[in-house]
Amino acid sequence: MKTIEINGHLRGTLGSKTAKELRREGHVPCVIYGGGENVHFHADERDLNKLVYTPDVYLISIKLGDKTTQAVLREAQYHPVSDKTLHIDFIEVIPGKAVALKLPVELYGTSIGVKNGGVLRRNAKTLYVKGLVDTLPDTIKIDISKMRIGHTIKVGDLSIPGVEMLEAANRVVVAIKTSRKAVAETEAEEAEEGAEGAAAEGEAAAEESAEG
């Protein structure tokens, strides 16, 4: 897992008023859970944007004075209009203890179904998983090259060493749906086959008539 370092500052005063003041100064209120006592701090919005506006998942070294805490991002809250980051929750990484987080889904390969005119439907860009930080992959890679029209890959179809899926097993991750183009091509192929069959039958009948 990729690593990144963030410099933070412990919060002396909590509350919505103080949080608003921090945001006006370009800082984002944050909290670290999972290590016993919750740690409230704030950090520069520009540094935190490297974490929240990216599909990548990082192991984060949060420096608070002379102490450094290893953590992963759990959830970020955004302003409904400006999309600015309002608050971030982190989970402390404890050696030997699994953590729960969202990993991005990475599709690779060219689907047979798409080649035949089907439409790729990506239903999940991230999946909620659990595992040790040392063994968790950067992404959940899914090979779609053998998928045909009508095929789906669900969470229950995925098996990744060191990764426990926390999503419902029947959740569809990716699907290949039919399209007007695919239907038209299928109908054209069927029409051609039918025409060829009729022509063959006509030729056979003509031969029988000639022989008779």
| Domain boundaries of the chain, sorted by first residue | 2-94, 102-178
pTM of the predicted protein model: 0.73
In terms of pLDDT, which residue wins out, 68 or 208? 68
Q: Which two tokens stand for residue 59?
A: 């192991």
Mean pLDDT of the 115-135 span? 92
Q: Which of these CATH numbers, 1.10.40.50, 3.40.50.11440, 2.40.40.20, 2.40.240.10, describes 2-94?
A: 2.40.240.10
**What is the average pLDDT score of the chain?**
85
- CATH of region 102-178: 2.170.120.20
The share of the chain scoring above pLDDT 70, in percent, equals: 84
pLDDT of 53 reads 85
pLDDT in tens, 2-21: 889 999 999 888 888 889 99
pLDDT in tens, 29-56: 999 998 788 999 999 999 998 888 888 8
Q: How far is CA 162 from the centre of its chain?
A: 17
| Four-CA torsion 143, 146, 149, 151, nearest 10 degrees | -60
